[in-house]
Amino acid sequence: MNLSHAIDLEAMHSRLIFVLAAAVAVSIGLMAVLIPLNLALIKLQWGSIWWLYEAAEYALYVGVFIGAPWVLQQGAHVRVDVVISALPRHAALRLEQLVDAIGLLLCLFLCYYGIRAAVGEYQDGTLPDKDLRIANWYMLVVFATSFFLLAMEFAFRLRRARQIVAGAEAATTKSGF
């Protein structure tokens, strides 16, 4: 794949995870409105939104997984840079590449696991023991999709780091150091 196709794929990926993050934000906003509304309905004895709390549980599950690729892309995840900040720039970039490669492999493994589990749940027709019954395989598809998107983001990070290292090596070669 040439560089322009990789950049197009990365741009599409960025747009997709932005849309997913926006959907997560909307779901959080809806919960912020619907939960007090439900409490008011109960207090006024006008009924209730019976499915709301289980829907919020599902929304939180989906939101955490589907929002994770955007968080990784933005660098807003928890990270401790004590070792990286103490290393020379070149070594720090190499360590970043190693960590990104490990993240890519772990995400691909978890995606594979999620797909296998989703297929098993689909074949079994498993449903949760709740009032709002969404088949378990749907939740596992969310899990697998999230880790596939995370793997893609780690792959893009590796490509960007490789470009930075190549640029730094070219600059070092030109300067004679």
Residue range 123-173, pLDDT digits in tens: 999 999 888 899 999 999 999 999 999 999 999 999 988 777 666 666 656
Give pLDDT, residue 177: 52
Helix 136-175, helix 52-74: angle, nearest 10: 10
- Assign 3-class secondary structure to the chain: CCHHHHHHHHHHHHHHHHHHHHHHHHHHHHHHHHHHHHHHHHHCCCCCCCCHHHHHHHHHHHHHHHHHHHHHHHCCCCCCCHHHHHCCHHHHHHHHHHHHHHHHHHHHHHHHHHHHHHHHHHHHCCCCCCCCCCCHHHHHHHHHHHHHHHHHHHHHHHHHHHHHHHHHHHHHHHHCC
Average pLDDT for 30-39: 97
- 20/68 Cα distance (integer angstroms): 10
Distance of CA 65 to the CA centre of its chain: 5
Q: What pLDDT, on a 0 to 100 scale, did the predictor assign at position 168?
A: 61
pLDDT band at 43 (very low <50, low <70, confident <90, very high): very high
Are 125 and 135 in contact, with CB atoms under 8 Å apart?
yes
The whole-angstrom separation of Cα 151 and Cα 99 is 12
Q: What angle do CA 41, 47, 51 make, to 5 degrees?
A: 95
Task: Read off the pLDDT of residues 73-119 as tens digits, 9 standing for 90 and up.
Answer: 998 877 767 777 888 888 888 888 999 999 999 999 999 999 999 99
Centroid of chain to Cα 48: 33
